[in-house]
Amino acid sequence: MTARISHTRRGLVTVGSALGALTLTLSGTASAAAAEDVQSKQWYLDALYAEKIWKKTTGKGIKVAVIDSGVNPNTPSLKGQVLKGVDATVERGGNTNDTDGQGTTTAELIAGTGKGGGLKGLAPGAKIIPFRVPLLKHDQLPPGTWIERDPLYHAIRAAADSDAQIIAINIRNEHAIGVNLHAESAVDYAASKGKLVIAGTGDNAQDGNKRQYPASQNAVVGIGSVTREGDVAKNSQYGDSVDLAAPGDDIPRWCDSRFKRYCAGGGASAATAVAAASAALVWSAHPDWTANQVLRVLIETAGLKDKKKHPLSKYLGYGIVRPGVNIIRGKGNPGKADSNPLADPQASNSPSSSNDASPQRPRGESAGKANTEQAIGKNEENSSTGLIIGIAAAIAALAAGAFALARKRRNA
């Protein structure tokens, strides 16, 4: 059991990027050529050394709760991967089929087998438990819905009571009252049950960058989105809600609930899925660890330029997830089972913990290409896509002391 997490935050270095786009078509059961084409657009699988990771673990034994628009369990890539879930919509009809396509995309990016031309999950041995919520804005729901019959609250509570170790939330809004205060108690409940709760920070960076919930809640690990160059995606929201970042830009998605074709997509939802899958891989490799230990290792092994000097970024948090650094190379100190790395009460006297002194580049300046020279890929795989694996030098040097940073509590 873990106590309520009191998040403390920061403001720091920045990176920026441009977004690419392309559309993919896939009808019914795709041909081998179509499957190869779709999966070839999952650029991060090579960047994260998925094939090498899968020789050691595929996420088997880990269940991920997907709180989203529902999940279609009958896509070729998800057959046999989806367990019984919960309909948390206002109607509570028991049907968890996908109403949008987003939830199925999330599930495939986490645990898809890639069969029949579908997306290949980063943790194909994991299982998905769907929790369907309405993809509606706060003001589109009937009066009293969020307070009296809050779908997100019930979804999170149900996920916390399920067998899932990880909860991936892909619903978000900017309203800090009602739904968020109500749902926050559910998130705290999930944390007390030992769950790792993950949510994307949002895609409104160019539209006010308003704080999004539940990613901004204290017990949630907020995920930003990055490009294949290792830069922050141009729409990825930034600020003290970002704890980690994950590949999310230019990743295929199901176009809609008809499930006839994939379209160009990506963003916070895709990044959330990749981060959840990364956690599933690490947890599968170390089944006796707690959520705190899994998160600590994800933080400690995350890639971030000049991480020793500036360990936090308001765009990338502690950096880009790199599960292979732990699984392939054995790096990362899990630390204490009951100590959350985002709520360490100790303050460091190290100069590097003085966040106010950290320089901030204007948004749009790219740091990704400069990081390529520090890539693990250059030393181990000679991979042109290795920069996501190796954005930071000296990953092993970040021991438990790196978490003893002076931080301030996240403002609601």
pLDDT at res. 308: 80
Residue bearing the bigger pLDDT, 125 or 364: 125
Per-residue pLDDT, 16: 33
Q: Which CATH number fits domain 8-409: 1.10.510.10, 3.40.1440.60, 3.40.50.200, 1.20.1250.20?
A: 3.40.50.200
Rounded average pLDDT over 114-138 = 89
- For residue 164, how many other CB atoms are within 10 A of its CB? 26
Assess whether pLDDT exceeds 90 at residue 110.
yes
Amino acid at 375: A
pLDDT of residue 400 exceeding 90, the answer is no
pTM of the model: 0.79
40-92 per-position pLDDT tens digit: 899 999 999 999 999 999 999 999 999 999 999 999 999 999 999 999 987 77
Split at pLDDT 50, 70, 90, the class of 175 is: low
For residue range 285-314, what is the model confidence (pLDDT) as tens digits? 999 999 999 999 999 999 998 788 888 899
The 8 Å CB, 24+ separation contacts for 136-145 are 137/173, 138/173, 138/175, 138/178, 138/179, 141/90, 142/90, 145/90
Domain ranges in the chain? 8-409
Quote the pLDDT of residue 320. 96
Residue 94 clears pLDDT 90, i.e. is over it: no
